Amino acid sequence: MAGSFNPGQRPCPDSKPGQAAGVNMRGMTEMTAAARSFTARLGLELPLIQAPMAGVQGVAMAAAVSGAGALGSLPGAAMAPQALRDAVGLMRRDGGLPVNLNFFCHAQAAADPAREAAWRAALRPYFDELGVSPSAIRNGPGRLPFNEDAVAVVEALRPEVVSFHFGLPALPLLERVRRAGAQVWSSATTVAEARWLAAHGVDAIIAQGVEAGGHRGVFLAEGPAFDLSGQLRTMALLPSILEAVRVPVIAAGGIVDADGVAAALRMGASAAQVGTAFLLCPEAMTSAVHRAALQSEAARNTALTNLFTGRPARGIVNRLMRELGPLSDVAPAFPTAVNALAPLRAAAEQAGSGDFSPLWAGTDVSGCRAIPAARLVRQLAATL
């Protein structure tokens, strides 16, 4: 399958904390010591994590996944503090389900009126075509980085895991997360990022291969543009990170089925993180145009784009990406690019079009199934 993670029987190095898993007489993958340790520390049945997916999931998804024995995640970057409290409260009432709260830790970009004006000028023909007035644009901060309000929620809720995208927050905030008893995870898209995270004391590293849908976790880029030339596929990134660090490593990107999960564990991953495969589940809040795109031939063509938010993220190629990008120096810095696009997206979606919508997806959508999330978890774990 194009883009799927399936490196076959390749083992991890013997010196690593998760020796290669064997395959028993029934063809089932035997979990490594690393995977068993990982699940035991969190009270999980399965070494599986549902990727946090801002904009397309809420508590229903996380609760279903955790209830099935894996780890459900909540996209804290897209949820107000009270919404997070309500969501975790619901999961606690559903039998004390474990949860991963995920946050962004980007630096807030300084205002750049010239760049914003250029962005709006580039979008002006689309406003005219759709009959939408630019006065409909509402300026706002977009996604907020991890801050005092967020850490107060963590201290109150004491989740099992707090994970970060785009590096780590400032040390005082990070220390408060640790004192709340949570494991600290973060994403690495390169070996250099993994080493940096290990040096800063994370409990686990998410090795995010370039196949992954949604935002790249890249954070060690220099200059205004993100250098994506060193971004590796999961089957190359995972063993490289395992060789470089001595903390648990979670494989992410292109893992869409049981074979992919088993392959990641055989290579030495402590667990596998899956996102795209959940997008058609009834618990997902995936929009109608997004669901249609995932089930169309268009889903075979994904690309990294910065048009929708200002940071590189993988999605199904649509009209905006074809005509303006997919990567453009005109798009404002993260996360403010979304402001000028919001009226276009709303008008197009109302007409049944995803031309201006972020249709996030990984390179392989073959694992997407319109089935309950708990059933999908069982399918992903079928060989364990």
Question: pLDDT-derived band of residue 76, with 50, 70 and 90 as boundaries?
Answer: very high
Q: Which amino acid is at 78?
A: A
Cα torsion angle, 217, 317, 3, 230, sign: negative
pLDDT tens digits, residue range 103-115? Answer: 999 988 888 999 9
Per-residue model confidence (pLDDT) at position 6: 57
Q: Which CATH number fits domain 1-106+143-279+364-384: 3.20.20.70, 3.90.1150.10, 3.40.50.2300, 3.10.20.30?
A: 3.20.20.70
In sequence order, which residues have a C-beta less than 8 Å from that of residue 164 and are 6 or more positions away? 102, 103, 104, 105, 146, 184, 185, 186, 187
What's the average model confidence in pLDDT over 309-327?
97
Distance of CA 334 to the CA centre of its chain: 16
Q: Answer whether residue 100 shows pLDDT above 90.
A: yes
Question: pLDDT-derived band of residue 2, with 50, 70 and 90 as boundaries?
Answer: very low
pLDDT tens digits, residue range 326-342? Answer: 999 999 999 999 999 99
pLDDT tens digits, residue range 194-230? Answer: 999 999 999 999 999 999 999 999 999 755 567 788 7
Residue with token string 């970060």 = 164
Query: Torsion-angle region of residue 279: left (phi > 0), alpha (psi -120 to 50) or beta?
Result: alpha
Q: Where in the chain is the domain with CATH 3.20.20.70?
A: 1-106+143-279+364-384
What's the average model confidence in pLDDT over 166-181?
98
Per-residue model confidence (pLDDT) at position 224: 57
Question: pLDDT-derived band of residue 9, with 50, 70 and 90 as boundaries?
Answer: very low
Distance CA 367, CA 260 (A): 10
Mean of the per-residue pLDDT values of the chain: 92
Does 11 or 192 have the greater pLDDT score?
A: 192
pLDDT tens digits, residue range 263-312? Answer: 999 999 999 999 999 999 999 999 999 999 999 999 999 999 999 999 99
What's the average model confidence in pLDDT over 83-99?
93
Say how many C-beta atoms besides its own lie within 10 A of residue 227's C-beta. Answer: 12
Per-residue model confidence (pLDDT) at position 213: 98
Percent of the residues in the chain that have a pLDDT greater than 90, as a whole number: 85
Cα–Cα separations (whole angstroms), residue 362 to 84, 133, 222, 283, 372: 26, 33, 25, 19, 20
Q: Answer whether residue 162 shows pLDDT above 80.
A: yes
Q: Answer whether residue 165 shows pLDDT above 60.
A: yes
Q: Answer whether residue 13 shows pLDDT above 70.
A: no
Distance CA 331, CA 115 (A): 8
Distance CA 204, CA 13 (A): 18
Per-residue model confidence (pLDDT) at position 15: 37
What's the average model confidence in pLDDT over 227-237?
90
What's the average model confidence in pLDDT over 116-142?
94
Distance CA 353, CA 321 (A): 14
DSSP 3-state assignment of 249?
strand
Instruction: Please give the structure tokens belonging to residue 302.
Output: 């994904």
Per-residue model confidence (pLDDT) at position 11: 37
Say how many C-beta atoms besides its own lie within 10 A of residue 376's C-beta. Answer: 27
Per-residue model confidence (pLDDT) at position 230: 79
**By the 8 A CB rule, do 267 and 242 touch?**
yes
Per-residue model confidence (pLDDT) at position 108: 86
- Of 57-66, 126-135, 137-146, 246-255, the range with the lowest mean pLDDT is 137-146
Per-residue model confidence (pLDDT) at position 66: 98
